[in-house]
Amino acid sequence: MIIHRILTPERTLDGVHGASKKKILQFIAQRISNEAPEINAKELFEALVARERLGTTGLGNGVAIPHCRCKACPKPIGLFIRLAQPVDFDAVDREPVDLVFALIVPEGENQEHLEILQALAERFHSKPLLQKMRSVPEAGSLYKFIVGNS
Q: Which of 4, 17, 67, 113 is catalytic?
A: 67
- 1 touches 60 (CB < 8 A): no
Q: Is 67 a catalytic residue?
A: yes
Per the DSSP assignment, residues forming a β-bridge with 64 are: 58, 100
Q: Which residues are catalytic?
A: 67
